[in-house]
Amino acid sequence: MLQIVRILEDLPEDFEVLRQSAVNEGWHHLDRLAEDWNRGALRYDASGEALLAAYENGVVGAIGAVCIEPNPADGPARRMRRFYVGPQFRRRGVGRTLATALIQQGWAAAPLLTVHASKPESIAFWESLGFHPDARNGWSHSLRR
């Protein structure tokens, strides 16, 4: 059973396993997430912000955040970031379910969502959710409500 949980206090107990998996694949954005979270720099607690984790059978399989877009082009926007799905949880709907929950959180506060996708797999994933190429202001794709 898949469960989406909002992270408010501490990073998930097994976050380190997920972070190490990302590092093994050459991704370091979960390192930044941990650093920012542990020093209190980002807590994703403003309107339309959230840090969510996807659990399957009690094991964290994915994590992602939506936050205030630091470089909005034309009005309020939220950015999808720190998104990662563990390899054993891919192609099973876990990432899509988590991303959909993050999109809803972002749209609660802004009509424009952005993401910076750099690898073909992540580009295809975000585009399958309706994001369109929109390379400006530090993002690669956007989705307008």
How large is the average pLDDT for residues 70-76? 85
The DSSP secondary-structure symbol of 87 reads G
In this structure, what token pair is assigned to residue 26?
Answer: 């050459």
For residues 135 and 34, which has the higher predicted lDDT (pLDDT)? 34
Summarize the confidence of residues 115-144 as an average pLDDT: 93
Residue 24 pLDDT grade (very low, low, confident, very high; cuts 50, 70, 90): very high
According to DSSP, residue 4 is labeled: E
* Antiparallel, parallel or unpaired: β 139-144 and 50-56: unpaired
What are the structural domains, with CATH classification, of the chain?
2-115 (3.40.630.30)
Q: Is the pLDDT confidence value at 83 over 90?
A: yes
As a whole number, the mean pLDDT across the chain is: 94
User: What pLDDT is stored for residue 138 in this prediction?
Assistant: 84
Cα-to-chain-centroid distance, residue 39? 19
